[in-house]
Amino acid sequence: MIPETTLAFSGVLHAEVKGHLFPPDGLEAAAILICTRTPGLRLRLLVRDVIFVPHAACKRRERDAITWPGEYLEQAIDVAEPAGCALVLIHSHPGGLFGFSVADDESDQRVIPSLFQAFGAVHGSAVMTADGAVRARLYDPGLQEQPVDLVTISGDDLRYWWADQATNHGPEDRPIAFTSGMAAELGRLSALVIGASGTGSIAGEQLARLGFGRVRVVDFDRLESKNLNRILNSSRADADANRLKVEVFAEAVNGYRGEGVAIAVPVSITTGEAVLAAADCDVVFCCVDTLEARHIADLIAAAFLLPLFDVGVVIPVRKKGDAFAVADVCGRIDYVQPGGSTLQDRGIYTPESLRGEYLRKVAPEAHQQELEAGYLKGLVEEAPAVITLNMRAASACVNEFIARAYPFRLEPNHLYARTEFSLAACEEDYIAETAFTHAPNLTLARGNAEPLLGMPMLRGAAQ
């Protein structure tokens, strides 16, 4: 069952909170999480800022108790109220209790009402154990308690803690990659696939058969006969009827998984409808060939604290006399974690290249545009026979997600922020997250703030 409530951290901010909550003295510590929320039906709280309660300011710090001054609550209220954020009070449990004690319950009954007296419709509390595991709960103004179904961390690894698995929270308790236990957990998660063509149809098919509870696919394009050699589940009848690619995908998946698993979103990723669909998901796979779509995917991942997996393929060609020859056969998979380097930081696109793509779209020189946008760079090919390359790249992209959520590599995941392969050279290269520099990201944990993603064209989309 897809969780109704989620508390989401970026890996960077989760590490900062953990470092503060577990100082060398082994005593309890506290902080206040300032959370935005995503638009849509699911209540996804996004940790945007943190007020750290200084250890020395606490009146009492023991291994199983803490008392801290109310002035830090006032600071948090001052920051959170103007933006309508929720506050979650978090403290450590050095003793390892992965749950709320009687003392925690009593403390909430004293403190939480003061938050509602100040502002807001939902606030909460949370505890963290020494391994970084987090359990959280929310309150309404009547102090009715609701457990947070899922706490997520999107860092070098993807970590999930479920409210109904109170005693299992260590790495050793996680499902093993490629097992039925992994499939069972994926059944509780929702994926967004941007693009339903060559790599997108393959990635979406893999996600559905792996067991994801929801697979939303965004694409406005329709099938043509030239697409049939590389889009899974497409038929001549679909092309003759000029059907939407996402409708063909959803029909096929729901045929073997059941109604409602695959959800067609037949619009551009630049629309409010598509962005709202993304906000209800837990992970994003970007399988497109336009820079604008990748730019939007970057913004979605940052604004909603979602892990992003981007895949691209290309076959450069060169002139050999009067004929063409293949120069290389390449693929690239980038994993983008919220708070880390973006696709823009990594040079996948720049403001200048976005502008160039826009100009080609509004004032196209058809032949030159096809040369630049096609699979085979430098050669116009109406129906490129590239399904084998697409399969290779899409599989690597989905396996990258599995490696993050259910680690199986021999080396740490932070070494694999980007994977590049050359089939011509039979080589595969990897680039670590630390190899990329990143600029401040003003979109990070923006949530449902208007306009969505900070883009004027999406103003009012969440209404």
Asked whether residue 379 carries a pLDDT value surpassing 60, the answer given is: no
pLDDT at 358: 76
Averaged pLDDT, 274-301? 96
Which stretch of DSSP H or E encloses residue 301? helix 291-303
DSSP 449: P
pLDDT at 323: 76
Mean pLDDT of the chain: 92
pLDDT at 371: 47
Asked whether residue 167 carries a pLDDT value surpassing 50, the answer given is: yes
pTM: 0.94
Query: What would the two tokens of residue 86 be?
Result: 């929720």
> Is the CB of residue 38 less than 8 Å from the CB of residue 276?
no
Asked whether residue 309 carries a pLDDT value surpassing 60, the answer given is: yes
Confidence of residue 367 (pLDDT cuts 50, 70, 90): very low
Asked whether residue 279 carries a pLDDT value surpassing 50, the answer given is: yes
pLDDT at 362: 74
Q: What residue ranges define each of the domains in the chain, with the CATH number in brackets? A: 5-173 (3.40.140.10), 180-458 (3.40.50.720)
Share of the chain above pLDDT 90, in %: 83
* Dist. CA 268–CA 272, nearest whole Å: 9
pLDDT at 12: 96
Facing residues of 127 across strands? 91, 135
Q: Which of 161-175, 339-353, 364-378, 403-417 has the lowest mean pLDDT?
A: 364-378
Asked whether residue 375 carries a pLDDT value surpassing 60, the answer given is: no
Confidence of residue 266 (pLDDT cuts 50, 70, 90): very high
The predicted-structure confidence for 171-207, as pLDDT tens digits, reads as follows 678 899 999 999 999 999 999 999 999 899 999 999 9
Which stretch of DSSP H or E encloses residue 318? strand 308-320
Asked whether residue 346 carries a pLDDT value surpassing 90, the answer given is: yes
* Dist. CA 294–CA 313, nearest whole Å: 14
pLDDT at 361: 75
Asked whether residue 168 carries a pLDDT value surpassing 70, the answer given is: no
The predicted-structure confidence for 380-410, as pLDDT tens digits, reads as follows 555 678 899 999 999 999 999 999 999 999 9
Q: Is 53 helix (H, G, I), strand (E, B) or coil?
A: coil
Q: Check the CA dihedral 241-247-249-252 and report its sign.
A: negative
